[in-house]
Amino acid sequence: MNKEVKHYKFVNNETDHVIYLLSIPADKTDIKEILEQTRHRLAVENGLYLDSIYYIEAPEGESGK
């Protein structure tokens, strides 16, 4: 039984480096909230401005596995 998941990349727009990969079950209703909370956490943990981090949905096969 394989659950559908969506994969997201968090990118530092100053360096264009992917700083975090996140997988979220596709049936979650609060995906936007999870993504924003993760973006805030990454900014604090990495000492970056919040506006310097963005996220994009990763194409299938780019989950980092």
Q: What is the pLDDT of residues 50-63, one digit of tens each?
A: 999 999 999 876 65
The whole-angstrom separation of Cα 35 and Cα 28 is 12
pTM exceeding 0.75? yes
Q: What is the pLDDT of residue 62?
A: 62
Q: What is the pLDDT of residues 10-48, one digit of tens each?
A: 999 999 999 999 999 989 999 999 999 999 999 999 999
Q: Coil, strand or helix: which one is 63?
A: coil
Q: What is the pLDDT of residue 1?
A: 46
Q: What is the pLDDT of residue 14?
A: 94
Q: What is the pLDDT of residue 2?
A: 61
